[in-house]
Structure 1
Amino acid sequence: MAETAGRGGWTVLETLERGQVCKGVVSSIERFGAFVDIGGFHGLVNAAELTWAHHFEAVSDIVEVGQEVTIVVLDVDVERERASFSLKALYPDPLEEFARVQFGRLIPGRVERVVRIGAFVQVHENFAGLVPIHELAERDADQPESVLQIDDEAMVEVAGINLHRRRILLSLRS
């Protein structure tokens, strides 16, 4: 998860605490995340902790080597000389705001994917929800693609939100 750079890095590691906010510099980028240098100690920002965005292609889409960043310390393991950091922890979860404002409402969305179990509809720039096959239409729809196609615009009801699992349940109203 991290590597120290001599005694200076060790000293920094010993002072880190969970929840602490620090400035650092992105020292390297891997497919699984980015390492951030804080005074000679290199801790990991896992890809899942980079942004609240719905998805991104590569870590380099979010940060670049040499970029100064502000991070939150998520975990410190002095014995293993590791620490994990987060960039997104500094910002409010957009799903919580979405839940407060949109739950139970009829909103526009765009179909991202049609799968065997239903259709995923983008309802916010950062996330999509699932319209399960039984919620696709008032008529029985055995094949989701008989009701919706990729890139279709649709009005969907926000029928359920699970903040912990980060899932949105939608219903299609025709």
Structure 2
Amino acid sequence: MVGPSENPELWAFLKSLRYGDILRGTVAAIEPFGVFVALDDGPDHPVFPGVGFIGIPELSWRRFEAASDVVRVGQRVSCAFLQFDTWNAEARLSLRATQPDPFQIFADGIAVGQELQGRVTKLVPFGVFVQVAEAIEGLVHLRELTCTPVDAPEDVVQVGEDVTVVVTEIDRECRRLFLSRRQSPSGLR
């Protein structure tokens, strides 16, 4: 789109960046696919509102509906540099990389076999999601809902219902928490 011959200053700036560099700037535009950031250092982009771009997954560790729930136009941000997108001649950035991961903090304080209290947040054909802490949800697979087999999660629980569950697996790398209701001594009450 914007080649090195059309804008050598921009390309030299982007090539100088290294993974993990912290870049500061101002949110220039919010789009459904991500956020443009006008960086403090470096040149302007000839096409986009900013040289920096934060994709939706890199905005926050927490679940959100729209990018505007996380940032607003004009807001100052510090982001980690991920990569030089040579197609768009932009710096791919991560806002969440500059913030502690709540899943890892939560995982530090729990163990497999531990009983937790939670609230059912979503029913899916293969089980239910249970929120066990702020911004932390785990999956209770259908086979782990009750001691007897069931065909659908709504036969057993409803969204908003409080449940007791046991931690069966903590996958730190994929940020997944697996839970069981049937293994909990008090979970089926």
Quickly name the TM-score band, shorter chain normalised.
0.7 to 0.9
C-alpha RMSD of matched pairs (Å): 2.4
- What is aligned with 1:35? 36
State the Cα distance separating 1:147 from its structure 2 match: 1.6
1-side partners of 2:116 and 2:2: how far apart?
43
Q: Which amino acid letter does the alignment assign opposite residue 145 of structure 1?
A: E
Instruction: Give the aligned partner of residue 126 of structure 1.
Output: 135
1:3-152 matches, cutoff 5 A: 9-38=10-39, 39=42, 40-41=44-45, 42-53=51-62, 55-77=63-85, 81-104=89-112, 105-152=114-161
Asked if the contact 1:14–1:78 (Cα under 8 Å) also holds between the matched residues in 2, the reply is: no
1:72 and 1:3 map into 2 onto residues whose CA distance is 24
Q: Secondary structure, in 3 states, of the residue corresponding to 1:156?
A: strand
Query: Of the two structures, which has the highest relative contact order with CA contacts closer than 8 Å and spacing of 6 or more?
Result: 1
After TM superposition, give the deviation of residue 2 of structure 1 in Å. Answer: 9.3
TM-score by length of structure 2 reads 0.81
Structure 1: give runs of 5+ residues left out of the alignment.
none
- Counterpart contact for 2:138–2:178, Cα < 8 Å: yes
Rate the CA distance shift 1:2–1:60 in 2: closer, same or farther, 3 A: farther
Larger radius of gyration: 2
Deviations 1:29-77 (A, max 9, x none): 1111101111425121111001100x21110111111111001101124
Aligned residue identity for 1:82:
E
* 3-state DSSP of counterpart to 2:13: helix
Please give the secondary structure, in 2, of the residue aligned with 1:97: helix
- Consecutive unaligned residues of structure 2, counting only runs of 5 or more, are 46-50
Distance 1:75 1:145, change over 3 A: same
Q: Percent identity?
A: 38
